[in-house]
Amino acid sequence: MAKNKSELWEWIKALLIAVVLAAVIRYFLFAPIVVDGLSMMPTLHDQDRMIVNKLSYKIGEPERFDIIVFHAPENKDYIKRVIGLPGDTVEYKDDTLYINGKAYEEPYLEKYKKEALDGPLTDPFTLEEKIGRKTVPEGHLFVMGDNRRFSKDSRHIGTVPMKKVLGKTSIIYWPISDIRSVNQ
């Protein structure tokens, strides 16, 4: 009888430790997220499942073209690409991205640019036209979806405060046929 109680107690302790570890990992380090919609096509597809690295920006800073997850104004989590960092000017003209006056290539958009026969993939704009400021404010990011014509992003919701950013994502783990690391 004492042996059964001892064994049961050991199982309960092991289960409690596993639950606490899982909660700590999910809350502080990594969390799953499901892509909802087409705003990041062709890079990400609707219903792709990804891992969010919550630790990435606690020990480092976002980099241009990172794919991030953040709390959006509609109480939803959005997945978008970092385009502008604090202090940057951002402009689009002739379907080309200019940051601080320098043209940047966006290889992840090449497929869509070739398919867009009825005008530019990304309509021309300046940061000032979109957010009323010449530069991205300190502590904020300017983000855009890769599917530029069908993405609700900083052009519509404004810049994203860093305190709303959950983390960086770059690993698709489901569906199995699409397992890969998503880079620039």
Query: In the chain, what is the straight-line distance between the N-terminal and C-terminal CA atoms, in Å?
Result: 61
List the Cα angle 121/65/49 in 5-degree steps: 90
**Candidates 39, 56, 151, 154; catalytic one:** 39
Residue 143's DSSP bridge partners are: 82
39 classed as catalytic:
yes
Q: What distance separates the 2 farthest-apart alpha carbons in the chain?
A: 79
**Candidates 54, 80, 130, 168; catalytic one:** 80
Q: What is the distance between the alpha carbons of residues 177 and 5, in angstroms, rounded to a whole number?
A: 46
Report which DSSP code applies to 44. Answer: S
The two tokens of residue 142 are: 């300017």
3-state secondary structure of 170: strand
80 classed as catalytic:
yes
Active-site positions?
39, 80
